[in-house]
Amino acid sequence: MFPPLYILLIFIILPGKGVANNLFDDFNADLATNGRYYFEEKSEAVSDQLSGGIRVEAKLKYALEKLTFNGEIFTNWDSMDNARRYTDIRKANVYFSNSKITLGAGVDTFFWGVSESINVVNVLNQSDLRESLDGKVKLGQTFISMSHPFSNGEFSIYFLPEFRPIDFPERPAFGLPVSEKNVYENNEKEGGFATRALFYFSDYEFAVSYFEGTRRSPILIPQVNLKELLPYYIQTKNVLLDGVYLADDFTLKLEAKFGKERESAFTTSNIGIEYPSYILEDYIDEIIFIAEYVFDDRGITAETHGQNDIFIGAKFDFGETNQGNIRFLYSYDLDNKGQYLELNYQYRLSDYVRYKFKFISVLDSSPEDQRLHALRKEEFVKLSIHYAF
């Protein structure tokens, strides 16, 4: 049965559009219905391959002299997966700014990184796996921050008082059900703290950061007797580097993380290049080709399936007014020969209506690549129709 909460939210947001625009400096909402189809059944007990759902996302901003208030709420309902029936406050914060300092507090989503495939330095927020497997969609994180601008950059300090474990959806599955119980190294589950120095020099933009706290991505430990995976969250210390060099004909990108976990040092990085091409300029203004190499020496405790992997892909807009865009990404594991494919497509029908299509497939995998191998029967397509204002 469709829950009345979502109907209520829709009827509040739609007629309140004009009122909200008068009250706030910026207000927008996105209402969407979606369908997801898995090509294979998960198990005899959970055989549903097709699900439908609805999501509501609203954002607002209000400025008052030196204060800025931001809010963002996301709520989702899914016909098949109970874990996808949830509401999250992505933002509920206030910032005070003057020429010398910016102070912030509340809930926010922060994005660090420059890569198209895996952002190894994006460590502050918890990933929302119910919305995206690539880790780019984040849950809200409580914080207190202070930033100080200087002539060619900014220095920031973050205190993150709370840690949020991942809520794993029923699908995509990871080979076994994931336990609702979480275990923490030394029983520590603090959000952590971080510092970040951002610099701009001519064609260069780069940042040096430090993070210490509970690692956002757990190690999934098989519990043979219970036939499930137990999330184990460890403590981590990270020195982070990310940067971009903008040349006339190409763009170089780098993300690197050096740290210590469980008394062992580790290194992970993503080195990439983007190259624009005009080979189809009669139809498409510009195609940007992507090539990235991801390295992680942590083995089975790595945070993603990218450990010695090459990612290649392309992205481009099309249509007279850039009505649509396509993003294609393919990865090949140099060690285990695993292959992963992701295709994203969206098209804007009008100023208010657009639709999105997503396809994910594990083309090949081996048992040695535990993360990718666990997703080998989780191929799916997703179609969503959005009304935004």
The pLDDT tens digits of the residues spanning 312-342 come to 999 999 877 788 999 999 999 999 889 999 9
Sorted by sequence, the CB contacts under 8 Å of residue 101 that are 6+ apart come out as 146, 147, 148
Band of the pLDDT at 283, cuts 50, 70, 90?
Answer: confident
pLDDT of residue 1: 41
Q: What angle do CA 180, 182, 186 make, to 5 degrees?
A: 170
- Residue with the larger pLDDT of the pair 208 and 226: 208
Residue 151 has pLDDT above 60, yes or no: yes
What range does the domain containing 140 cover? 4-388
Q: What angle do CA 385, 37, 373 make, to 5 degrees?
A: 125
Phi, psi (5° rounding) for residue 191?
-65, -35
Phi, psi (5° rounding) for residue 22?
-80, -30
Write out pLDDT tens, residues 158-202. Answer: 999 999 999 999 888 788 889 999 999 999 999 999 999 999 999
Domain holding 139: CATH number? Answer: 2.40.160
Task: Check if the beta carbon of residue 143 is closer than 8 Å to that of residue 157.
Answer: no
pLDDT of residue 226: 81
- Give the count of domains, the chain: 1
Write out pLDDT tens, residues 87-119. Answer: 999 999 999 999 899 999 999 999 999 999 999
Quote the distance between the C-alpha of residue 164 and its chain's center: 15
Residue 22 has pLDDT above 80, yes or no: no
**Both structure tokens of 83:** 């874990």
Q: What angle do CA 111, 113, 115 make, to 5 degrees?
A: 125
Write out pLDDT tens, residues 232-282. Answer: 999 999 999 999 999 999 999 999 999 999 999 999 999 999 999 988 877
**Both structure tokens of 63:** 């400025």
Question: Over the chain, what is the mean pLDDT?
Answer: 90
**Residue whose C-alpha is closest to residue 328's, from 340, 342, 339:** 342
**Quick count: other Cβ atoms within 10 Å of Cβ 363?**
14
**Both structure tokens of 243:** 């940067």
pLDDT of residue 13: 54
- Residue with the larger pLDDT of the pair 283 and 197: 197
